[in-house]
Amino acid sequence: MKQSFIFLFLFLITVIPFHANADLLNSAVRIKAQIPEKARTSKFLGKEREGSGIVIDDEGHVLTIGYLVLEAGSVEITDVDGRVIAAAVEGYDGDSGFGLLKALSPLQARPLRLSDSSDIQSEERLRVVSSQDDTVVQQVVVLERGTFAGYWEYLLENAIFTVPAVNAFAGAGLVNEKGELVGIGSLFLKRNFQSTMVPSNMFVPTEALLPILDDLKRSGRSSSPPDSKSWEHSCEKPGGFFPFRLESRKCWSQSAADPPPGERTEAARFDFCGPQPGLPDGSI
């Protein structure tokens, strides 16, 4: 029954015209980040990164996926009117993968209200708004909700998987029927659905953002301690995982002596062990 509904929905959205709400179109911005050549992430995430972001308040805050702006030397955002505006990286959360920007000049944009995504269920119809190449709104349906584990020591509980797959997924906004933001695009992947590998996207749910948003605005990082198991395992594999330190942090492993109290959970802004969540297709 579930499979029939999803396939019927995929057929219907190809034949029924869809008119995007102007507020959705005005909420999305294009993000372009320049990464210094010597940055450790430049070799596998690139020195130039482009994607989307969603304006979430009247103060010019833009929510996106963090790997777009990790170690960025400069960031530009382009609004719906085509104006190019400089932006600052205001916050990053390694546990969820969210990145937070702030425009350095006023934006011509209509902010989207953040909503708790915990109520989003399988088969629910949503929309994706992106502005990587052009501002586009696409209808999608929730394939399922579940845990996503990346080889780079990234574990996201209750991720949102949607179909059909959207090409411009990086930093795209996932929006409910009320026009509220419930997720940010991270991955293109094939998901096993009733013995069929279905092209889909993975979105980071806003329920992972709401408890830490004030922290990101205030200090650039979450005040909650990072998952010590993820940090521990990453540091045990220096050949496959790389500690990125924009501010000092002591990484540790099981093979090393236990660190003094507090060091296991001490995390500095933008600190990161392992490749960043949300790598392009083919990296998982």
What does the pLDDT read at residue 226? 60
Please state which CATH number belongs to domain 24-110. 2.40.10.10
User: What's the rounded Cα separation, in Å, for the pair 172 and 155?
Assistant: 20
Blockwise average pLDDT, block size 10, the chain, 284 residues: 54 46 85 94 92 96 96 94 94 94 93 96 96 85 92 86 95 96 96 88 97 94 65 32 31 33 31 37 33
Q: Which residues contact 60 (CB under 8 A, 6 or more apart)?
A: 102, 103, 104, 105, 106, 107
What does the pLDDT read at residue 22? 72
Beta bridge partners of 243: 273
User: What's the rounded Cα separation, in Å, for the pair 43 and 22?
Assistant: 38
CA dihedral 43, 45, 50, 53 (to 10 degrees): -140
Q: Domain segments of the chain: what residues?
A: 24-110, 113-208
84-92 vs 28-34, strand pairing mode: unpaired
Domains 24-110 and 113-208 share a fold: yes
Architecture category of domain 113-208 in CATH: Beta Barrel (2.40)
Residue 121 is encoded by which pair of tokens?
A: 């269920």
